[in-house]
Amino acid sequence: MRSAPKSLGERDLADDQFLTRDNSLLSRPKIEPPGCPQEAVTDALERPTRMLVGEGEGTCTSPVIAVACIKTLRAEVEAYVQAGIAPATKRAYRADLHHFEAWGGTIPATDALVAAYLADHAPLLKVSTLTRRLAAVSIAHDARDLPNPVRSPLVRATMRGIRREHGATQRQARPLLREDLFVVLAAMGDRLKDQRDKALLLLGFAGGLRRSELVAVTCNDLERVQQGVILTIRRSKTDQDCVGRKIGIPYGRTIYCPVRALENWLNAARIEDGPVFRPVDRHGRVSACCLSREAVSLIVRDRMSTAGFDPTGYSGHSLRAGLATSATWAGVSTFKIRQQTGHASDAMLSRYVRDGELFIGNAAGVLL
């Protein structure tokens, strides 16, 4: 005989409690069991996780973005939930919420309060920054299953007006083009730090790598083949699940060959395992740790300045932008460019392609 269905409060943990990625911005629980105290729904952006442990209530000091109130939570489960969110994302949303609260905002917030926050900061912050702040406020409400003011017509209309009044153009790093890169390389010497920077600039350009990808390269990620080197990118901004991808770094046809520059650096620094790009002090001692992402930007700007260029607008991303733009000028197909850079679609690549094609077949250039 079929038993009567359990009430929601009597259902097993497997029925009620599970994590989901249904939130496009961040994971959150689909259900909050009735009777669960509101503070038990975690919002690690501002508070530690609250959960029921056995018969008593405890506090978990490790931040979790969104976990429903449950009777038991194994340490392994919490660790995996933590790993599902990038540390940089946690830091960014936490800082955004702190800024909102320092202004006078509260969670929960009304649509009028959020709209007032946007209006006060529209002259001070970029549209992209305000958009991210809204995302943090939205996640804080969704994590607690509260009415979300960010989705209200008032807040949407306010943001639409801000975009019209202040513009939504994003600042982009200036591309380090092939010809300019060669000038920069020609101005460098043969010291150990020079050899490191040559390899870093050439590999970053040839691979169309992000700063985070470049500093994460290890000796185990390099496979020597007849045509050059196969580089394995184990994790990237668009590959948080570590699926990984491989790109080819071919031998160069000029004196500025990324493969030879890489080998020269590794041999000179006697690096056989671990990180490829490492700090070098003024005495020529090579550290065992990897360079920071900020160091890549500093190296690019410093080398640009030494070569006589104005470094304003250049950053670590200039290497990636430079490859995409230079390849477009050379007539390389968007498919092959994406294969090297790892862009998910032509839409993401279009910013570089559009800039690179401004003077290709230009109507004014044909007439004047």
Q: Catalytic residue positions?
A: 210, 237, 317, 320, 343, 352
Instruction: Give the alpha-carbon dihedral of 226, 229, 230, 232, to 10 degrees.
Output: 160
Cβ-count burial 223-237 (b if 16+ within 10 Å, e if not):
eeeeebbebebeebe
Torsional sign, CA 221, 223, 229, 232: negative
C-alpha 315/C-alpha 320 separation (Å) is 10
Question: Tokens 């790892």 sit at which residue?
Answer: 342
C-alpha 305/C-alpha 325 separation (Å) is 21
β-pair partners for 52: 57
Task: Give the SS3 label for residue 166.
Answer: helix
Question: Tokens 């184990």 sit at which residue?
Answer: 234
C-alpha 208/C-alpha 336 separation (Å) is 12
